[in-house]
Structure 1
Amino acid sequence: MKINYNIPALKVVNILNKANEAQSSSMERLSSGLQISSSKDDPAGMAISLKMRAQLDSLAQASRNSSDAISLIQTAESSLSSAHEITKRIREVAVQSANETYTDADREKIQIEVDELIKELDRLSNETDFNQHKILSGDKELADSGFQITQTGKYNGLQAQYSISLDMPTSGDKFTIDGQPFEFYDSSVSTTLTDPAAIGLDLQGDWKKDLSYASLPNFHIDPTGADLVLTAKNPGSSANTNPINVTNNSIATKQITQGIDSKEYATYEIVLPSINSGTSDPEPHKFQAGSGFTIDGVVFEFYDPEDYDNGEYDGAGVGVPTTKEDGSYLLDFDLALIVRAQEYPNFNLDAVNMGTSYDPMVLTAKNSGIAGDYLAGYDGGFVDLKLSVQTGSEANQLTQIDIASSKPDTLGLTSKTPIYGFTDYLILNDDPLTAANEDRYGISLLTMEDSQFALGAVDRAIAEISSRRAYLGATQNRLEYTVKNISNNSVNLDGARSRIQDTDMAKEMVLFTKDGILSQAANAMLAQANQRPQQVFQLLQS
């Protein structure tokens, strides 16, 4: 028996220290809920967990970015909805102005409303913003470049019109317009109609107004005059068959105008900017960067390659370099080739090869009638607003949103020059604060011919707005799916991170209980080990 070293006690102390350390670690895990609370617990696991945590935070921000983009789109779509209502109203009064029962003085009153509606369209495009982004006025306005356009052929079809005289209608009178039966009744006596398919016209109410609300397939009804006036929705002789059928002699009808067919295609002659023919100029000239022109919605922008990375144009329009790869200036002939190479949605471009240039260039509508009868181009232009939304947690995980300008110029409702179909007076004036060229002539309804042109122009404007709203709606749906996908990814990633870093509470509690029992047993055994030297003392006493 030796007393210098109590080896059993030392062994028990070692075991007790290990049990206490394990119990302390278990208590830390149980109180924090973390399997890895510091790098010493699991260096590799800690590194992976921190990387996942950073990615989760980034995904949360990407989700907020996508939600912000949805809000931006909703703001733009709301203003475009108002623009839609405005253009529909302009079309309504254009149909009204095309009616020959109105005088020029009447059309002047109609024109006042149209001018104000166009001003409101311009205000909407200028003042709709989201966090200081003017989202409906385009990225930038291009300066004039010298582009010219002249309409050389126009659509001249005419709608058929009929009048209905209903001075003294009585209950039971019946007539049919465009296949729809109508029947008068007196609500003070009875509301029963003899024809269940007929639309009832109450003699005690505003029956003319009720009549105008009827939706007919081929005609509009104007109830404002002494006689009702029916106007065919589409020009042409196909509407020259009287659409009115009466069953008594108290209702008189007559045709006011004949519908006239027209297969004529709208045509425009364009003159491209010309400053560098390259043949007779002793000193070549350079096109002005930042200027441009627009043909059938396609924006051409002159740019200096030195202003862009690698000399490549990254704008939303068609880039026209002011200098070529060999360092020489762009020629008029080169510009003509670029213009001819583009596809235009509603027009065909024809040109006669003159050797060094193309002159003239003629735009011909692909469809006859009012479908191509609108201002097909103008000098200057508005480049689409391009917004990049960070919708991912890594670099270059971007979603591009392109929002086209909705200014009256881009919708074809204003012109910089008083050409055919537009007013001979300005409806928008220069802005003295910005010195911008804001002088604009508006679409005209002052004559029947102008009204026919306006119908084509407004139809095109409505189609443009509809297209932009459809694009914004589709993009919003896409971003909503992006938010859902980010949410799913975050849940899965958080689950993976939890499996690495979080404590399994049930398992840890088992270990904590085991270590507690071992600690108590070690304490008991330490007491026993400390009693062994006392046996030596007893031996010495004996």
Structure 2
Amino acid sequence: MTRINTNVSSLVAQNRLNQNNNDLQTALTRLSTGLRINSGKDDPAGLIASEALRSEIGSFNKAISNTNRANQIITTADSALGQVSSLLSDVRGLVVEAANTGALSDDEVAANQLQVDSSLEAINRIAQTTTFQGRKLLDGGLDFITKSGTNATNIKTLQIDQANLGATGSVDVTVDISEAATKASVDIEGFRATAGAVDGVQATGKIEFSKEATPAVQSTTGTISTGGAGDFTLTAKSGGSYADDAFNGYAVVIDTVANGTNSSIAIDDTGTGTVTITLEEGETLATAATDLAAHADIAFASIGAVNVAGTDADPTAGTFASGAAAINDTAAIDITSTLEDDAFNGTITWVEADGTTTPTAAFDSGTNTLTVTVEDTDVVDLDAVTTAIDDLADFSAVKTGALPDFDANNAAYANPTITNLAGGTDELLAGVQADVVFELSGTNGSEVFNVSAGTTLDQLVSQINLVKDATGIEAAADGTQLELRSTEYGRDSVVDLRVIQEGAGGNFANGARSVGTDVKASINGREATTKGNKISLNTATLDVQLELEADQTDTSTFSITGGGALFQLGADVVSNQQARIGIGSVSSARLGGTAGKLFQLGSGGSASLSNDANAAAEIVTQAIDQVTGLRGRLGAFQATTLESNMVSLKDTVANLQEAESSIRDADFAQESAALTRAQILTQSGTNVLSMANQNPQNVLSLLR
């Protein structure tokens, strides 16, 4: 090339040198930052993917931090609950010691009471002072908030451990009961009388009277004036379609027609109702009455001879009113024997005889018949009949109802309806028929009873109920039957009667055994776990426990509207990556159960050591169960939810970081090789450019 104005070789060398310099700069940047992608131009798709992964890694790292924080909160609460549990154990020991009243003086019991009071104060203090970064954990502020619904009073106790309230912030709960829980039940028959009969149920009977309906009062318009001597009245006919008060409110319209058209009446039932009376002009009212009297539902009265038309004034109409319905009168004579047994069970006879001016009554013990005799032709005073029966030595009679008398000749009176004397029974003094030794075993334990023949049923019931707290079985008497029932409901309740020894003809034979049944229920359509009247459901979205009132089968509803401690455990702020757990109050006013609350153990309380140590023991036991249940639930939440979530989050972060690194981080071996290559090419390009820049010098030799 002999041109010097444009050094093409130099330009080519410059371009290659610039490219090599860029490659060198890229290699240096990647090696110095450790990243393959330092700007969008390095790898646009890779940059998008790596930034998304970085965002996820940041969210997961915060989720790990949240989980650690939740774990710290639960640990703090559990530590405080451990102290409450220790105090409750001390209180239980004091209660058990104070129950030993045969060995402890009143001063010692009082000293124990002081310790109980101090423990209750300490429990209340822990409930109020257990905090985490200023938030109280055990005062009930982290418990769930509920709103009562249908039959909510059927729910005796309610504990919500966990609930996912979703985006709406509330959840409705429906508890459907298919079968109520039952107690274990054993009935023993045949506890017959052992010491003669005592007063029992009285024999009773009744004589009832009725009088047919008094005719109804008919609707009437009153007087309709014609302006002359021919005034008349309109009345609804008895037995017609508008008898009694059916015509009330109907308006009467008087109209006239030309001669040659018969008078008539028309009834319009639409609206409030109208009765239109059409009269022929020129005729008298008496003449018109012949046509009008044929109507089935309306009667006319006081019709005069005034002409309908002409000089006589037109009639002034009215409105039907004042009708009344028929009246039905009744009365009854209630008869009761004055002796409380079955001696007077028998027949009541009603006799109508001529000449019996004053009613009489007599009882024939041979035929077991009470005979009442009255006049057959005259009206009979029912009060006199009542007096005649009441005057008998062994009977009492009381009249009820408004009907004053009875007339056998009047078709309006119905014949008496008689209920014979019946229902009287002897009340037996029920008792054990033979000596017996039996063992009664229940949920709480067993007891052996040694009962002698002749022991009354009531005495036996008292013996069994005396130890019902130790056996879990209570007794009741029903006539000649002994009823044994477990004190609790459910499949864990049992009544087991085992006969150890019994004389001939005894009541207990080979004994019997019965087991109760649990309630069958579902919560929000899911079959629930049940025990007695207690129902629980534990799902990913709802963990609830409740206890029903006994023998309930009605559907109950309530709503969870807020509350609970909400923990964000996932990388996305959605309900299925959150956990909401309830932590109830552990103050003395909230700890306890169906037996009562812990504060009742304080001085002067209904369950203080000096007032009722048995109730105190039951209350503190339920309180201990409540606290240990809460600790167990929080521990399970830590172990199964928080710790497993922590492991899962850390594994996810590690995998995400590996994926992000594979996309964005620089491969040092590859980049080192690229650096060396770029360095060599840059040096070579520099030399080549120098040579290319020398070519124009060679052209100058042509000009010398």
Equivalent-residue separation in structure 1 for 2:135 and 2:672 (angstroms) = 57
Cα deviation per residue 1:405-449 (whole Å; 9 max; x = unaligned)? 21223322899999xx946966xxxxxxxxxxxxxx4742215xx
AA partner of residue 263 (structure 1): I
Equivalent-residue separation in structure 1 for 2:602 and 2:695 (angstroms) = 121
Q: 1:425 to 1:528 in 2, by over 3 A?
A: closer
| TM alignment of 1:335-484, pairs within 5 A | 343-344=546-547, 348-350=549-551, 386-396=564-574, 397-412=577-592, 422=600, 441=605, 443-447=607-611, 450-477=612-639, 478-484=641-647
Greater alpha carbon shift after TM alignment, 483-492 vs 69-78? 483-492
User: Is contact 2:53–2:656 with CA below 8 Å preserved after alignment?
Assistant: yes
Question: Secondary structure at 2:590's aligned position in 1?
Answer: helix
Number of residue pairs matched?
328
- In the alignment, which of 636, 658, 668 is matched to residue 505 of structure 1? 668
Deviation at 1:521, TM superposition (A): 1.1
User: Is contact 1:111–1:444 with CA below 8 Å preserved after alignment?
Assistant: yes
AA partner of residue 113 (structure 2): Q
Cα deviation per residue 1:518-539 (whole Å; 9 max; x = unaligned)? 1111111122222222222212
Deviation at 1:106, TM superposition (A): 3.1
Equivalent-residue separation in structure 2 for 1:262 and 1:490 (angstroms) = 57
Deviation at 1:101, TM superposition (A): 2.1
Cα deviation per residue 1:119-171 (whole Å; 9 max; x = unaligned)? 2111211221112222112137999x9x9999xxxxxxxxxxxxxxxxxxxxx
- Please name the residue that 1:535 is paired with: 698
- Percent identity at matched positions? 30
- Please name the residue that 2:48 is paired with: 47
List gaps (5 residues or longer) in structure 1: 151-233, 239-257, 268-295, 299-313, 318-341, 354-381, 427-440
- Please name the residue that 1:6 is paired with: 7
Larger radius of gyration: 2
Q: 1:391 to 1:261 in 2, by over 3 A?
A: closer
User: Is contact 1:413–1:458 with CA below 8 Å preserved after alignment?
Assistant: no
Question: Secondary structure at 1:350's aligned position in 2?
Answer: coil
- In the alignment, which of 117, 134, 150 is matched to residue 136 of structure 2? 134
Equivalent-residue separation in structure 1 for 2:597 and 2:653 (angstroms) = 56
User: Is contact 2:60–2:571 with CA below 8 Å preserved after alignment?
Assistant: yes
Q: 1:83 to 1:442 in 2, by over 3 A?
A: farther
User: Is contact 1:413–1:461 with CA below 8 Å preserved after alignment?
Assistant: yes
Cα deviation per residue 1:452-509 (whole Å; 9 max; x = unaligned)? 2222222211111111111111111221221222111111111111111111111011
1:106 aligns with 2:108: yes
Deviation at 1:95, TM superposition (A): 1.3
User: Is contact 1:138–1:383 with CA below 8 Å preserved after alignment?
Assistant: no
- In the alignment, which of 525, 529, 535 is matched to residue 688 of structure 2? 525
AA partner of residue 532 (structure 1): N
Q: What RMSD, in angstroms, separates the aligned Cα atoms of the two structures?
A: 4.1
User: Is contact 1:115–1:442 with CA below 8 Å preserved after alignment?
Assistant: no
User: Is contact 2:601–2:608 with CA below 8 Å preserved after alignment?
Assistant: yes
Task: Give the helix-richer structure, 1 or 2.
Answer: 1
Q: 1:3 to 1:351 in 2, by over 3 A?
A: closer
AA partner of residue 43 (structure 2): D
List gaps (5 residues or longer) in structure 2: 157-443, 449-466, 475-485, 489-532, 536-540, 555-559
Task: Give the strand-richer structure, 1 or 2.
Answer: 2
Cα deviation per residue 1:64-103 (whole Å; 9 max; x = unaligned)? 1111111111111011101111111111111112223224
Q: 1:4 to 1:415 in 2, by over 3 A?
A: same
Equivalent-residue separation in structure 1 for 2:635 and 2:590 (angstroms) = 20
Question: Secondary structure at 1:453's aligned position in 2?
Answer: helix
- Please name the residue that 1:488 is paired with: 651
Question: Secondary structure at 2:38's aligned position in 1?
Answer: coil
Question: Secondary structure at 2:89's aligned position in 1?
Answer: helix
Deviation at 1:343, TM superposition (A): 4.9
Equivalent-residue separation in structure 2 for 1:416 and 1:467 (angstroms) = 18
Q: 1:316 to 1:510 in 2, by over 3 A?
A: closer
Question: Secondary structure at 2:666's aligned position in 1?
Answer: coil
| TM alignment of 1:34-73, pairs within 5 A | 34-73=35-74
Equivalent-residue separation in structure 1 for 2:581 and 2:79 (angstroms) = 17
Equivalent-residue separation in structure 2 for 1:260 and 1:7 (angstroms) = 114
| TM alignment of 1:151-190, pairs within 5 A | none
- Please name the residue that 1:27 is paired with: 28
- Please name the residue that 1:263 is paired with: 473
Cα deviation per residue 1:7-66 (whole Å; 9 max; x = unaligned)? 122111111111011111111111111111122222222222222222222222211111
User: Is contact 1:118–1:413 with CA below 8 Å preserved after alignment?
Assistant: no
Q: 1:398 to 1:462 in 2, by over 3 A?
A: same
Question: Secondary structure at 1:40's aligned position in 2?
Answer: helix
Cα deviation per residue 1:207-248 (whole Å; 9 max; x = unaligned)? xxxxxxxxxxxxxxxxxxxxxxxxxxx88657xxxxxxxxxx
User: Is contact 1:384–1:403 with CA below 8 Å preserved after alignment?
Assistant: no
User: Is contact 2:473–2:487 with CA below 8 Å preserved after alignment?
Assistant: no
User: Is contact 1:79–1:124 with CA below 8 Å preserved after alignment?
Assistant: yes
Equivalent-residue separation in structure 2 for 1:79 and 1:424 (angstroms) = 22
Equivalent-residue separation in structure 2 for 1:53 and 1:443 (angstroms) = 62
AA partner of residue 92 (structure 1): G
User: Is contact 1:413–1:442 with CA below 8 Å preserved after alignment?
Assistant: no
- Please name the residue that 1:76 is paired with: 77
